[in-house]
A = this chain, B = another copy of it.
């Protein structure tokens, strides 16, 4: 811990800021100072927004999304395609897909991926609730939008096995060259997948 150079209130703010992702001890000090300088325009409003978030945000019992209502806004949205469930690892992935606007369906947040190394087993993830939701006759397709990592793919296989008896269409995201990506910077696996799944031009 660095030597305390400011009052205890400022030190506490710095220490808490340093625990935020993306901020270390040094950048936390800089952030604290900036916040103090922008007391009325940033520090006060941010304190209020955090207080509101801490008090009002809940986890959707259906899909695992975070929102101020349960079921969440997406689960309550009648315009969503009820026949498709998009399985994601984390809420951040849900947000990423929503930003893209690529799919107008509902989600299921697993809350992680299976990992022998980290001791994450199926019972630690929201897989049982996924099987239950997928058993709804309205559901026809499960899109596995999991990260293209070893753990992500292991999890995809496990989920597929778990819902095999439901006889649903199970799909995964396509592999290929990212839009705007340069071939020179891509790994062999991606290039291999992009060639293998080439499409007519």
Contacts and interface: CB of A to CB of B under 8 A. Distances in A.
Interface of A: 2-3, 5-7, 9-10, 12-13, 16-17, 19-23, 27, 29-36, 39-40, 42-54, 56-57, 66-69, 73, 90-92, 94-95, 98-99, 101
A7 B99 contact: no
A45 to B, nearest CB: 6
22 contacts: A5-B99, A6-B66, A6-B67, A7-B67, A7-B68, A7-B73, A9-B68, A10-B53, A10-B68, A12-B52, A13-B52, A13-B53, A19-B42, A20-B46, A21-B27, A33-B90, A36-B57, A40-B54, A43-B54, A47-B48, A47-B54, A50-B50
B39 A57 contact: yes
B51 A51 contact: yes
Given A21-B27, A31-B22, A35-B20, A3 B53 contact: no
A57 to B, nearest CB: 5
Contact of A52 (B9, B35, B50, B67): B9
B21 A30 contact: yes
Contacts of A9: 49, 52-53, 56-57, 68
A95 to B, nearest CB: 5
A35 B50 contact: yes
Nearest to A47: B50
Nearest to A95: B5
A96 to B, nearest CB: 8
